[in-house]
A and B are shown apart, each in its own frame.
Chain A
Amino acid sequence: MKTENLSIITEGLTKSFGSVKAVSGLNLRVPVGTRFALLGPNGAGKTTTVRMLAGLMKPTRGSASVCGYDIISQRDEIKAVAGLLPETPGLYSKLSAAEFLEFVGALHHLHGDVLHRRIDALLSILGLEGRQDNLLESYSSGMKQKVLIASTLLHEPRVVFLDEPTSKLDPSASVLVKDLILALAEETDTTFFICTHITSFAQDVCDAIGILNEGELVTVGTPDAVVEAAHVRSLEEAYLKIVGGKIDREALLAWR
């Protein structure tokens, strides 16, 4: 595989916090325009991986590049071509949705008509056009998530890192986000790197999947290949078989 067709490359990427190894020797190759899902239980190291790739965290060992830029020496170049949706919303409670998006756009050096046109369009697509002038403090968690998704896409990034994008969304909003990801990936060659717990979302949207457990990448491939390799019928079963976590009924009621 030629490196110029690769959006994300990691080689032995490792991050430790004291004695705790959050990510251990991660080797990944994600081609341009791919929708890659990183699945894993809580604390598996998904968020840490995304933060390192987005240039927000320094790896303890190993190297990685995003769109050909090194994650340590070319952080600002990565930030210019990448968008990050954080796991929890870090919104300004006293700004409206339109104002917050204007703020994020300005951080990406956008302003004027171009910025305002994009804000209006994204808020309209996400169904927030009627609430765009309300302060964010009055938004529900799903609405806040939509605003954050808009802020991630505002500067037309070539790589989008989404950390649990649909965990707070209702089913119809989840479908909307799925369609948005599919349309952007197919029409604009945008690469999506998605951290999620939701196996059905990963199966519907992504063309490649990696399962991370206790900081190590235990399997990688297309959803069908992962299911086939695990000798099960669905991705959820494959996930449970690989990661563990299936408890029998007797154990579930043992606390009573």
Chain B
Amino acid sequence: MDGNWFHIARAEFQVQTSGIRTHRRIVVSGSIVLGIIWALLIAPTLIGYVLTEVLEIPRLAVAMVMPGLMRAGIMFIWLILLIPSLSNALQEVKVGQWEILLSNRVKTREILVGTFVGRLAIYGLCVLYLAPLLVAPFAHALAVSSVGLALMYFTVFVVTVSTIWLSNLVGTAIQSKLGASSRGKDLAKALALVLSPVAVFPLLGLQLFAPMMSEILGLDVFLLFPFTWGADLVTQIAVIFNGIGPSMEGLVAVLGLGPSLSLLLLGGFSIFVVLLGLYSADRFFIIGEGARTESVTTIHRENIVLRGVRRISSGSFGVLIVTGLKDFGRKAENLARLALLMALALLLPFFVFIRAGEFELTSVAIMMSLMLGFLGVQVFGGVGFLESKDQLWTIQATPHGVQRYVKAKAIQCILLIVPVVLLPSVLYAVVLRLNLSRILFLLSTSFISCLGGAFVGIGIAAGNPTYEDTKSGAYITNIVEGMGLVVVSSMSYLIAGIALSMLGFNDLMNYIRTSESLYILAQVMPLPIIGLLVILIGQHRLSNLE
């Protein structure tokens, strides 16, 4: 490496700190100094004061929960550092940037090291400010010396740095493979979407089933994970440098590993991932000229569903629906969202099944409606609405183009939502042993809730299009607005109930409460009504002139 990594690191750092570019040096160096003071002086004193003087929690009680809480905390840091950054890397395959780098004879290893170092400052700062919240209470409870405190922070820092490196390594390796074609980029986006559930669900499962697995394996399964080694080492350092008396012997029995073994495993793992990255870059994965050969996809005959839509709506509007469905269905990211929606919708009946006897139609219908509303916003709003501003020009340049486009999008949602809600509703029906009329009722409420959420999502995206940009403030605002509207609509019945009671219409509310169907409908119906209003407002805004 002949220094190229440094230029890449500087550029990456400038990108990471673009928000404070006018005062970058002062803000970053000031934050580092303040962070060190916070970590070594302010946090231990402040947290110690709150624990002992305000909350009056005995030191020993805090010390007792340390091993478990430390493991959970470090696992959380691990996930937070690993998944979002990996997901971001997959969302944004930087082929354009690679072209510039490669035209300057830069090696993959230099890209790997440069992006890692560039990100280190910001992630490091986050750790500097957040780690004391985890470490300081225990350091205070055990009266850990300054050397011990510094070693505890250093261990957290090593865990953090090795995790960032690992995330950067995996992200770069996947990008080098998936950046090869537009299909690959599409798959990368889909992978980014399902990454969190795929990574989080097994860990949650691990938490639930750890005792059973430990029995089978004959050891604590958590000892197999690097975050456990880091967490245990922090706990062990706290005990070694403690000022109140607990000894190491008892702790080893609780944790399963001694401090030297924890240190060895954590150190070994960190060195291993660093060497793995340095060795494998330019050998097993290369960001190079040969990687991005474009593949050509040829479309074939339309499937039976699309032909059916054309037959039912044979005019130009039918063409708009069919082309919209094709565009949606060919993006792996959209399919991943849809699959995720279905998987989450299926999780609820499973939950209901294992907690049999605690649920009935009302709670299931309301719960499912709320969740499907959220998912409708997520899947059909945001990025799936329009790819670019230029696409919007094309649509706006046609007579009533925007109105017809939005209407076609709404109909596409109806066609896509039907199969998604059908399966979980039927599963519920089986689990709850519902009759046919109730199955149809549950199916209808699920459908209108998901559609209501989709209308909210589309309406907000139409009013404030963010195109394919998932990192902009506008995109986040849209998602928050959409979620907020679903929550507000779910509370409409409650708000209306209070208002009507104050106005003396108690009888009406009582009448609604006595009928199960009316009660469910009163809870579920506001969302599609709000959705319709939002989509009309969005359509109007989108067709407005600049």
Task: Tell me if A95 and B323 are in contact (CB < 8 A).
Answer: yes
Known: A79-B401, A95-B323. A105 touches B316 (CB 8 A): yes
Task: Tell me if B390 and A86 are in contact (CB < 8 A).
Answer: yes
Chain A contacts of B405 at CB under 8 A?
107
Please tell me which one of the listed residues A82, A115, A138, A151 contacts residue B394 in the complex, with CB atoms under 8 A apart: A151
The stretch that binds B, out of A129-137, A207-215, A223-231, A232-240, is: A129-137
Chain A contacts of B391 at CB under 8 A?
90-92
The stretch that binds A, out of B99-107, B289-297, B352-360, B446-454, is: B289-297
Please tell me which one of the listed residues B297, B320, B545 contacts residue A57 in the complex, with CB atoms under 8 A apart: B545
Q: Bin chain A's interface residue count.
A: 35 or more
**B546 sits at the interface (CB 8 A):** yes
Known: A89-B390, A137-B182, A138-B182. A95 touches B327 (CB 8 A): yes
Task: Tell me if A103 and B397 are in contact (CB < 8 A).
Answer: no
Closest to B318 in A: A111
Interface digits, A14-54 against B, CB 8 Å rule (1 contact, 0 not)? 00000000000000000000000000000000000001001
**A220 sits at the interface (CB 8 A):** no
Please tell me which one of the listed residues A58, A93, A96 contacts residue B545 in the complex, with CB atoms under 8 A apart: A58
Chain A contacts of B296 at CB under 8 A?
134-135, 138
Task: Tell me if B387 and A92 are in contact (CB < 8 A).
Answer: yes
Task: Tell me if A138 and B331 are in contact (CB < 8 A).
Answer: no
Task: Tell me if B390 and A93 are in contact (CB < 8 A).
Answer: no
Interface digits, B284-321 against A, CB 8 Å rule (1 contact, 0 not)? 00000000001111111000000000000011111110
Task: Tell me if B400 and A76 are in contact (CB < 8 A).
Answer: yes
Residue from A75, A90, A102, A106 having most chain B Cβ neighbours under 10 A: A106
A57 CB → nearest B CB, Å: 5
A62 CB → nearest B CB, Å: 15
**B245 sits at the interface (CB 8 A):** no
Closest to B391 in A: A90
Residue from A80, A99, A110 having most chain B Cβ neighbours under 10 A: A99
CA of A80 to CA of B400 in the docked complex: distance in angstroms?
9
Known: A80-B399, A90-B388. A110 touches B316 (CB 8 A): yes
Closest to A94 in B: B330
CA of A112 to CA of B395 in the docked complex: distance in angstroms?
20
CA of A58 to CA of B183 in the docked complex: distance in angstroms?
39
Please tell me which one of the listed residues B297, B392, B399 contacts residue A108 in the complex, with CB atoms under 8 A apart: B399
Chain A contacts of B471 at CB under 8 A?
none
Known: A86-B393, A93-B182. A104 touches B398 (CB 8 A): yes
Task: Tell me if A99 and B545 are in contact (CB < 8 A).
Answer: no
Known: A90-B394, A99-B326, A137-B182. A107 touches B404 (CB 8 A): yes
* Beta-carbon contacts under 8 Å, B395-411 to A: 395-401, 404-405
Task: Tell me if B298 and A102 are in contact (CB < 8 A).
Answer: no
Chain B contacts of A58 at CB under 8 A?
545-546
Task: Tell me if B297 and A138 are in contact (CB < 8 A).
Answer: yes
CA of A78 to CA of B294 in the docked complex: distance in angstroms?
39
Closest to B310 in A: A111
Task: Tell me if B316 and A111 are in contact (CB < 8 A).
Answer: yes
A237 CB → nearest B CB, Å: 34
A76 CB → nearest B CB, Å: 4
B430 CB → nearest A CB, Å: 37
Chain B contacts of A88 at CB under 8 A?
390
Known: A86-B390, A94-B330, A135-B330. A108 touches B398 (CB 8 A): yes
Task: Tell me if A102 and B323 are in contact (CB < 8 A).
Answer: yes
Task: Tell me if B390 and A99 are in contact (CB < 8 A).
Answer: no
Known: A56-B396, A57-B546, A79-B398. A135 touches B326 (CB 8 A): no
Chain B contacts of A96 at CB under 8 A?
298-299
**A156 sits at the interface (CB 8 A):** no
Chain A contacts of B398 at CB under 8 A?
79, 104, 107-108
Known: A102-B319, A107-B405. A76 touches B399 (CB 8 A): yes
Chain B contacts of A100 at CB under 8 A?
323
Residue from B298, B326, B545 having most chain A Cβ neighbours under 10 A: B545
Closest to B390 in A: A90
CA of A54 to CA of B326 in the docked complex: distance in angstroms?
29
CA of A84 to CA of B387 in the docked complex: distance in angstroms?
19
**B21 sits at the interface (CB 8 A):** no
11 A-B contact pairs sorted by A residue (CB < 8 Å): A51-B546, A56-B545, A57-B546, A93-B182, A95-B326, A100-B323, A105-B319, A106-B320, A110-B316, A134-B299, A138-B295
Closest 4 CB pairs of A and B: A90-B390, A106-B319, A90-B391, A94-B330
Q: B residues engaging A (CB < 8 A)?
A: 182-183, 294-300, 314-320, 323, 326-327, 330-331, 387-401, 404-405, 545-546
Task: Give 11 new A-B contacts, CB below 8 A, not counting A94-B331, A134-B298.
Answer: A55-B545, A56-B546, A58-B545, A76-B400, A84-B394, A86-B393, A89-B390, A102-B323, A106-B317, A138-B182, A138-B296
